Each structure stands twice: as structure tokens, then as C-alpha cells.
Structure 1
């Protein structure tokens, strides 16, 4: 029993001297441990201070309480590891700094043991237990520092690689000369660009490879706002992308958009621009998968939504509220023109009798006039009507993507 009492007495006395211990550790670190430039890093200095204070409390608690769990490392120590990795401080320096803190702490424990436990045998017994517990704690903390350093180094290296990749892509798509070695992707040959949101671009790339049934090495990049960009090297012997990938599915809430297959560096840029525009259309219409070749007209309309809205209203206004999904005249005409003005096929698509379609067509003609109904502009307005209705009334245009620029053709 006297050992546990002695340990509590020892740690309580040592805890009273934490400000003094802290200053001594900081002095030793400045003199022995800091790499050049580290003391001038305010963020690193702050993290180091927090670590010292937290570690002192942690180790004294573990020495005094035999039932306390063996602490791997405090949150502050792990934060210091993250900051140190970013500041370029090596693992050797981190472990050396940790050992300095442990050495200084033990010196103060010894000092307090000789001051507060006068009996030689009792003091020796208490110090043996205190030493065993402190060294067990030290081992656990050192192991945690090594593991955290390895994890943070790998993560930071990956982040640094992604930052270099994104910077290269920004320059490349803007038409600037840049070394593209970091991309590990050939700009020769044919490219199919894609943009994905709401899903992992890496998983989409794998799904594309599975659908193609061949080993592809697409270029994949992610932006801080969660957008994913892909470029697939499209084999010349392959068919059209819609035929090869038309059966792809994406997660609920995700949007995937494709450009068209284009050649060389300029094709790399063009296909990305197309995918970006198709993605804007797909999000507006709530489409999980969008192909630029199917939505190029809608993409053009998004460049001036006010003009597109005015055009659609002028063309379709005699048919009633264009934003009303139950407007059967507009919906019937849209399906009619989409299906090559085939009334029978239109009836099948709408699941109504052909005479119903004929009646609606005559009703629309009476409101518009036969000549207006046959104008190409009217068919375009019908196609754009769904997009215009999906946009907010005060829409200022498609949201621009801050991750990568969209170069002009």
C-alpha cells in the first residue's frame, strides 16, 4: 500500500512543478533538438507547447494510477506530428525531442522522490515502479509517434502530389506550356473526358475499365470542392462511348458527364470542356449520366439562361404555363418531335390512344397556327423547355467550376 501512496505523493509533488518542468524542456529543445528554421514556425511552436503540457499530465497520471489505460499518445502529440510533417521536421528529430521531454521529466521525479520520501527503501521501491510505468508510457508514445509520422508522411505526399497534378492540369487546360510528367498520362492518341460529382472518381474509373473489359490507365484528379475529373485513353478499335458505356450506373445523388472522343492535346482540352458543360446540364435536369452529344443544345443555352428563358416563353406561351408539368399539350408535342413526328409512336410513349394524340395536335395547331408549328425554332423551344423550367427563375447562369478552367476552343 505504501508504494501506491508513495507514487501518488510523488506525482502530486511533481505536478506542482509542471510550469518549471515545461520551461526546462523548452530550454533543452531550443538548445539540443530543433532543426534549423523550426523555432521560427509559429504553428509548430504552438503544437510543441501543447504537446509538452499534455504529455506531462498524461505520464504523471499513468504513474500514479495503475488502473489507467496505457496512453498511446495525446491528441496534442499527434497534432504536433501532423504539423511537423508539413514543416519538414524528420522522424529522428521528433523522437529526439520526445526523449528530451522524458529525460527532463524523470530528473524532476527523482528530485521530488528524494525530497518527499525520506526512507531509502521506500523511495527505492517507489522509484522502481515509477520508472517501469514511465518507460512503458514512453515506449507506447514513441510507437505512436512513429506510426503517426508514417501515416501523415504518406498522406502529405499524396496531397502534395495531387496539388502538383491539379496545378499542372490548370496550366495545361489554360493552354500554358507545362511539364506534364506528374500526370503520368500520354496526351497523344484519343481521349474521352468525364466529370463526376457525388461519387469517388477512382471508383468510376474502375467501373469504366470493367465495362470496357480491358486494362485502361485513366488520368484521375480530384478538386477540393469534391469534383472528380477523368480522362480515358480511348482505344481506336473500340466503338462509340455511348455503346460501350451506356449501361453504366452511378450512386444515388451522383452525377456523371462525358464529353466526346477527341484527338491529341487539343482534344484533351475540348473533351474536358464538353464534359464540364454536359455536367452542368445533367445537374440542372437531375440526370445521373449525361452525354455531351445529347445535350449540346442545352449546354449552349446555359451560356445565356435569360435569353434561353425568353426564347422558350415566346415560342410556347400560347400553349399555357410552360413550367406546369401537367401541361399535356407541351408534353405531347415534346414527345412527338422527339420521336420524328410519329403520332403512333408518341401514343405508345405516352400510353394514350392515337386519337388522343391527334386531338392534342389539332388543339396545339389551333392555338399556334400550322406554319408556326412547323418552324424549327418551335422544336428547339420544346426541347429547351424542360431545362428552362428546371432552372431557378432568377438564375444567373451555370455555376462555374473553380477547380479547373474551361479553355475556349
Structure 2
């Protein structure tokens, strides 16, 4: 809805009037109560003062920014909120919970303003304009402030663990290098991560061409997964790469982790990812990492790879010796492995045909071809190979996958 200059002034006056009708102390008390109820780890075991002070300071900051017409992306982090963020970082409490607390604050404060807007005697059109304006302003403001909160948390956390971060990385590497059983609880305390849980390991790295301009990778990963998992383990592998383990409390979050990785990788100069499979316990901690590392070696230019995807791990293992793997694939496929466009089309068709259980119809639907065209290509592929595929079908499928990845 277009808003001219006069309307903007009226909208601003309406929002300010509605905001002024709020009781900051009562709103702060309601937000604090919601946080204590839904995120009790943020309250503090004995002293609720830091949380209460942070909530009130943030509410006052929002009201001041509205009153002074501060752009939502320019709102600062109040001193009390900054101190509370540092307080959490020093105690190892998850920054993800802090981000959720800001969303809870928004979930209390914005409806309060909108409720006061609805009771005003302004026209319905003006109320709608004011509703849209303050909602968008609030969304942008919370996004900006939570970015600053995460940055402040990371700086303080890095300072606080500086003396033990090197030891933690060394300990993680020791756990990965040794297959012996260890006291999982004691080792978990040492590295700050629960080893008895369920894990999804990842490797992340910046491509060589963007290393010089790359941002802090662990901090970027925390932002990417902040709303999905609590207390991930992230360690620096080198100056432009990181290893990570994400605790999986519900398998339903795995697709969301995938989506977050793709979103981050698609950003300008974004990192690339490989993921292992979901595994449990210390053995799973190691196994999932090894899977992610195996994919890292064969990722090439692909932005995100998952070990759980069909055929990916098998191809990665075969491609540890790419020359030998391609030679084997050419032996299995014969002339069909030739580097020609017709052979490439026949291989692609045969691969889908085998994956769909030998269905001409399903293959045709996936490739947008006529079933007769699929049948022709499959028969020609078998002819080019020089023998039927019934006796070594698995070898054929793997060989097709090896050549598919080698051509990327």
C-alpha cells in the first residue's frame, strides 16, 4: 500500500501514540516471566537481576528508537543487554536461547502495540497502514539486534575460553584419532559437548578464492543454525575451515539443517559444507565426522553434500583413488563409458532406469521423455556395453555413479 508524506506522519503519530500507551514496567515483567517459563536456563540460578535489567533496557531502547525515528537496523544494544550477553557467554549458556528470548520479547511487545492501535479512533485505513509499518519495523529491528547480540556473545566467549580453546581442539583431535573407548562423560566435559547424544557431523570451509575476504566461520555457522540446534560443537580445522557436530534431538530438524546450510552456501562468498550421517554416542561422533571428511575430499565445486543421500558415500569411498575408480568403471561399462555426448545421454538414462527399479514409465516421467525413447536408450546402452546387466547390476550402478561424479 503506497504511503505519501502526509500519511507517513499520521502513521508515525499513530504508532507513537499506541507505544506511549504501553506500561514499560508491566511489559518488561511479562516478557521476563515468559522467558523464565520457556527458557529457564536464562534466568540465572540465584540472581534474576541481569535478565530483568536486560529486558527492561531493550524495551526502553525500542520505545526510544520509535520516538526518535531511528531506522530499525540502526538500533543499538543497550549496556544492560550487552552485560547480560557477556554474563551468558562467560557461563557457557547457549546463544541460541538468547536469540529466542529476543523473539519472545517481540512476541509480547508487538501485539501490545497493535492492540492499542486497534482501540484508537483513527480511520481503518490509517490503522492498517500503521499496523503494516510497525510490524515491518519490529521484524527488521529484532533481526538487527540479534545479529549484534551474537557478535557480542562470540567476542566474549572467545575471550573467556581463549586459554582453553587450544586444549579443546587438541582433545577433539585425540578423540577422533583414537578408536579406544573413553569415559564419554568426562571427555564431554573437556570439550564442552555431550558425547552420549545423537550427532550430525559437518565440515565447512571457504573456497580458496574468498579466503582473504572471509568472515569468522564458527560465528557464521552459529548464526546459520542458531534457531535449529542448541550447543553445537565447532572447532577450527585451519584458518579457513571448521569441523562441527550438531546435536540432533529430533530427526525432524535434519531437513532444516540442510536448508540452513544451502542458504548460507548460496550467499556471496559463502562457505561450502559436507555432512556425515546421523549417528549416536562416541562411535557415532567419530563415524559421522569421517563420513563428512570423506565427502570433503571429493566435493569439488559442489556447495553442499550429504552422506545420507543415495550413492554419495559409495562414490566418495571409490573415488579415494580416482584413477583406479575410473579405470574400474570403464572396465564395467565398456564402450558405454566413452566420453561422447550420445554415451553420456545413454548413461544418464540407464542410471535413472536402474534407480527406478527398471521402470520405463517412471524413467520417462523423470526425464520428460516418451517411454519408447527410454526403451530405445536403455537397449542401446546395453548394446554399447556389450553384455546384459542382470548379473552385475550393482557394479553397473556404482560405475555409472563414479562416471557421473567424475564428469562434474
**TM-score under structure 2 length normalisation:** 0.50
**1:382 shift after superposition:** 0.8
Q: Is 1:228 aligned with 2:242?
A: yes
CA distance 1:233–1:385, shift in 2 (3 Å): same
Which residue of 1 is the match for residue 231 of structure 2? 217
CA distance 1:374–1:383, shift in 2 (3 Å): farther
Q: 1:255·1:287 contact (CA, 8 Å) conserved in 2?
A: yes
Measured in 2, the distance between the counterparts of 1:350 and 1:380 equals 20
CA distance 1:154–1:196, shift in 2 (3 Å): closer
**1:379 shift after superposition:** 1.6
Q: Is 1:194 aligned with 2:202?
A: yes
Q: 1:191·1:271 contact (CA, 8 Å) conserved in 2?
A: yes
Q: 2:361·2:371 contact (CA, 8 Å) conserved in 1?
A: yes
CA distance 1:155–1:183, shift in 2 (3 Å): closer
Which residue of 1 is the match for residue 317 of structure 2? 300
From 245, 253, 257, the equivalent of 1:245 is 257
Measured in 2, the distance between the counterparts of 1:323 and 1:367 equals 12
Q: Which ranges of structure 2 fall in alignment gaps of 5 or more residues?
A: 1-154, 207-213
Which residue of 1 is the match for residue 370 of structure 2? 353
Which residue of 2 is the match for residue 185 of structure 1? 193
Measured in 2, the distance between the counterparts of 1:154 and 1:331 equals 50
Which deviations, in whole Å up to 9, do the C-alpha atoms of 1:338-392 show, x marking residues without a partner? Answer: 33322222223322222211111121222234523652211221111122334xx
Secondary structure at the counterpart of residue 327 of structure 1: helix
Which residue of 2 is the match for residue 395 of structure 1? none
Q: 1:205·1:230 contact (CA, 8 Å) conserved in 2?
A: no
Q: Superposed, which structure 2 residues align to 1:134-153 within 5 Å?
A: none
Q: 1:195·1:256 contact (CA, 8 Å) conserved in 2?
A: yes
The structure that has the greater radius of gyration is: 1
| Aligned length, in residue pairs | 232
From 163, 174, 177, the equivalent of 2:166 is 163
Greater RCO structure (CA 8 Å; 6+ sep): 1
Q: 1:316·1:322 contact (CA, 8 Å) conserved in 2?
A: no
CA distance 1:320–1:172, shift in 2 (3 Å): closer
Which deviations, in whole Å up to 9, do the C-alpha atoms of 1:113-164 show, x marking residues without a partner? Answer: xxxxxxxxxxxxxxxxxxxxxxxxxxxxxxxxxxxxxxx9997776554322
Secondary structure at the counterpart of residue 382 of structure 1: helix
Which residue of 1 is the match for residue 400 of structure 2? 382
Q: Is 1:368 aligned with 2:368?
A: no
Measured in 1, the distance between the counterparts of 2:291 and 2:336 equals 33
Measured in 2, the distance between the counterparts of 1:156 and 1:209 equals 20
Measured in 2, the distance between the counterparts of 1:306 and 1:165 equals 38
Q: 1:365·1:373 contact (CA, 8 Å) conserved in 2?
A: no
Which deviations, in whole Å up to 9, do the C-alpha atoms of 1:279-311 show, x marking residues without a partner? Answer: 333x23x33221112212012112332321111
**TM-score under structure 1 length normalisation:** 0.50
Q: Is 1:316 aligned with 2:330?
A: no
Q: Is 1:206 aligned with 2:223?
A: yes
Q: Which ranges of structure 1 fall in alignment gaps of 5 or more residues?
A: 1-151, 391-409
CA distance 1:312–1:187, shift in 2 (3 Å): same
**1:278 shift after superposition:** 2.4
Q: Is 1:327 aligned with 2:335?
A: no
From 174, 177, 189, the equivalent of 1:174 is 177
Q: 2:201·2:243 contact (CA, 8 Å) conserved in 1?
A: yes
CA distance 1:364–1:160, shift in 2 (3 Å): same
Q: Superposed, which structure 2 residues align to 1:9-158 within 5 Å?
A: none
Measured in 2, the distance between the counterparts of 1:225 and 1:373 equals 50
CA distance 1:380–1:166, shift in 2 (3 Å): same
**1:186 shift after superposition:** 1.9
